[in-house]
A and B are shown apart, each in its own frame.
Chain A
Amino acid sequence: MDLETITEYRPAPGAAWQPGDAWLGGGTWLFSEPQPGLRRLLDLRGFGWAPLTESRGGLEIAATCTIAELARWRPGGPAAVAWATVPLLRQCCDALLASFKVQNMATVGGNICLALPAGAMTSLAAALDGVTTLWSPGGGVREVPVIGFVTGPGTTVLRPGELLRSVTLPDASLRGRTAFRQASLSRLGRSAALVIGRTDGPGLVITVTAATPRPVQFRFAARPSPDEATAALDRAGLDRAGLDGAGLDGAGLDGGHLTWHDDVHGAPAWRAAMTRRFVAEVAAELRE
C-alpha cells in the first residue's frame, strides 16, 4: 500500500529515533495498512545481523531473521541431536496465515512486535521460554521474557523508540519434547487457538496463544494427566469466561485481566473449547 506520508527511508544504524519513525522489518504489515502517523522508515536490515546464531546458551534469533529463514533452518554440531524441539520452529512458521511469499519478507521481530494474538513467532518464543533483548534509543539494553513482552492485542512492553534486537531460546528449552496443536477457520487460516506443550525435565509447560489476547502459560512440576491439565485451565477462570463469551475481570493469571480473544477469526466460545481440547491432547501426548 502506498504510504503517502513517508518522506524518508534510511538504514536504521545511526538514525536517531524521533516521533513519526517506524522500525522497518519486512514491511509486510506496515505496507498492508494505512500508516498516517509515519514519516520515516528506518530499515533494520541495515544492521546486517546474522539471522540465527547457535551457541552453548541456546539459539539467538535476530529480529531481522525472516520467517522463511527460520522455517528452513537446521542446527549443526551437537545441537542437531540435542535440540528435539527444532520441528516446532517449522510448525509455528506454518501456523501463520501468510503464504511463503509473505514469509520471504516478514521478520520474526516484526511478528513479535506487531503482537497479534495470532503471532505464531510469539507462540514459539513464549513456549520455549525465549528472552527478548531490547535496545533503547539512549543506548541502554534490557532483557524481557517473551511471555511478558506481549501485553495484549497489538501492545507490548516496548517504549517509544525501543527496538527488539533478538530473541534467545535457551538451550534447556530446546532440548524438551513438544506437542503442537492449532485451529483456524480455514486450513491455512489465521490461528484462532494455538497450544504448545513442552517437557521441562520431569515437568510440563503448556503455552496458550491465539485464543487469548496475550500468551498464557501453565507450568506443572510433574507431567499432568489430561484432566489435571484442563483443571488448571478451568481454575484460571478461562474456561468459564470463554464459554460464556464474556471476559473475567481480575481473575486472570499473574493478576492480569484475561478474556478469550474475539475477532473475525473465531468466536470466543469456540476458541475456549478448542483450547481446552488441545490442552488435554498435548498433556496426553507428552505423558508417555
Chain B
Amino acid sequence: MTPIIEISHLQHTYLAGTLAHREALFDASLQVLAGQSVALIGPTGAGKSTLLHFCNGLLRPRESGRVIVLGHDMGRDVDLAALRRQVGLVFQNPHHQLFERFVGDDVAYGPRQMGLDEDEVDRRVQWALEAVALDPAIFADRPTLSLSGGEMRRAAIAGVLATRPAVLVLDEVTTGLDPEGRRQLHALLRRLKYDEGVTFLFVSNDLDEVAELADEVIVIHAGRTEVQGPTRDVLADISLLERSGLSAPFAPALFSSLRARGLSLRGAPLTPAEAEEELWLAWKG
C-alpha cells in the first residue's frame, strides 16, 4: 500500500541563520498508510507540532529530509490550496484557527473557499457543528470570542471537519474537552475512520486516548523519532516510554504494579476495559 504521508530523515531549524535559531527536528521519520490511524507521542518540546506542520505545507523541507504527502514531494512546487482541501490540520491552539467574527462563518470559511454553493455550505456547517456537539441553533450566531475554552476547541475542530478532508492531522485536539466531549469526539473519529476511510495522524499526550484510537504509535523525543510500531507493542514498553519522558498508560502500569507485587498475570491490556477483562479471566482461573 502506498503511504499517504511519508517523512524521512527530516531536519528543521526555526529562524535558521539568525541568532535566535532553534533546532526542532534532528532526524524524524514516519509513515502513515491509507485508512490508518497513527499517533505521535512525546514530551512537550519534542517536535510533534513541528512535524505535523510539514504534513500540509505550513512548513516545507529546506535542510535535509524528504516529505511526501499524497504523492507530492513537499520540497518542490505543490498546489498548497488543493493539498489543504485533502489534508485538514487542526492546530494545537484553537486561537490560531478561529478568525471569523461569528462561529457559523468560521466553520463556513473552508467550504466557501472550496467554491461550494451556499446550500451545501449550510449543510456542512450544520453537520460539523452537530458533530462536535455545538447546537447550531445556539452557536452559529455566537461571536467566536465569547466562547468558553472548550467550546472554542470544538468550533476549531468543526471548521476543519466541514471541509471533509480525506486526511486529518490533529494536534492535541482533545485537551480542554470535557470527558463527555472527549468520548463523543472519539466516537466521531472512529466513524470517520471506519465508515469513510479517513486517514489520521494525531498528537496526544493522553496515552489512554492513544490506546483507544491508534493503530500505530510513533515516539518522538528531542527532535528524533525513536520508534514506529503497533500500539500494543509501543504502549506496553514502559521502559521505552519512560526513557522518552512519558509515563505509561493506566492499564500497562496497573499490570506492571500487580506483577511487581507477585501476581502472575498473562496478557498485556491496553485499556481499562481490557484490564478488567484480563483480571476477570485470571480470577476465574
B partners with A: no
Name A's B-contacting residues (CB within 8 A).
none
Name B's A-contacting residues (CB within 8 A).
none
